[in-house]
Amino acid sequence: MPELPEVEALAYHLRTHAVGRVVTRVDVASLTVLKTVRPGPADLHGREVTGAARYGKHLDVVLGDLHLVVHLARAGWLRWSDALSAAPPRPGKGPVALRVRLSDPEGRQAPGFDLTEAGTKKGLAVWIVHDPGEIDPVARLGPDALDLDTAGLARLLRGRTARLKTVLTDQSVLAGIGNAYSDEILHTARLSPYATAGRLDDGSVERLSEAMREVLTSAVDRSVGQEAARLKGEKRSGLRVHGRTGLPCPVCGDTIREVSFAERALQYCPTCQTGGKPLADRRLSRLVK
């Protein structure tokens, strides 16, 4: 799933390549991705791209007083092309859900981007609105993970009884962090994913705050400026524990362990994070303190 760094990089890519161009056509290959009716795709025709922004893990393509807001979900992606095919995508065929064609001042190419989604479980969502705040998932977002200082994080965690991993990935509490970067942040902070969020002492909160800034800022720095097609590989190359089950921890050499749930898994290092104790690999594992 694209998280804060990748979405920030996609917004940067659009600001670099799309701003100033005019929408010439929008092809919808999957009606299920559209979560709004009016304004519709045809209302984007002839509008200039004036900016691109990010709200948590939501991408906002700004077209004057309209916004094309995208949530890429688990398997969605934005694929930029300097020369799109002249043929529209075929509904129900292939991964393309929506295509936005843009103008070329020289009239020789048809640049633009496809919104694609792999797999059978569909979650890609697109809204066309006058104000992103009209979108419920955007309106319910907590503070952005890169906007919180240590004191703000301490206030956010105070009184919360959920596991730390759960709090970090709850977008209504803290926006932008998903499964992968929460694993990386917790490893860097040397904290158990099962620690109770509201019971962290001051030193742990400070380590967590520093780890959030370090992991996310480093990932943004690596990602921004990369071509959209290379961002997934760039993300994987920077991960130290997530997706590395069975490999040695790059800090202490212990074996990276995994806890599997119904639809996802977390990875951690017992030596660095849980006092050497492996977490039971079942959904109702007890907390390791």
Which residues participate in catalysis according to the annotation?
Answer: 2-3, 57, 264
User: Which residues lie below 8 Å from residue 70, measured CB to CB, with a gap of 6+?
Assistant: 58, 59, 60, 61, 76, 78, 115, 124, 125, 126
114-to-102, 105, 126, 164 alpha-carbon distances in Å: 11, 20, 12, 36
β partners of residue 23: 102
Helix (H, G, I), strand (E, B) or coil at 72: coil
**Angle, in degrees to the nearest 10, between helices 150-157 and 202-223:** 120
- Could you give the CA distance from residue 79 to residue 98 in angstroms, rounded to a whole number? 11
How many other β-carbons are positioned within 10 Å of the β-carbon of residue 131?
Answer: 12
Nearest 5°: phi and psi at 54? -135, 135
- Could you give the CA distance from residue 93 to residue 95 in angstroms, rounded to a whole number? 7
User: Which residues lie below 8 Å from residue 207, measured CB to CB, with a gap of 6+?
Assistant: 189, 190, 191
- Could you give the CA distance from residue 110 to residue 83 in angstroms, rounded to a whole number? 5
Cα Rg of the chain, angstroms: 20
How many other β-carbons are positioned within 10 Å of the β-carbon of residue 165?
Answer: 22
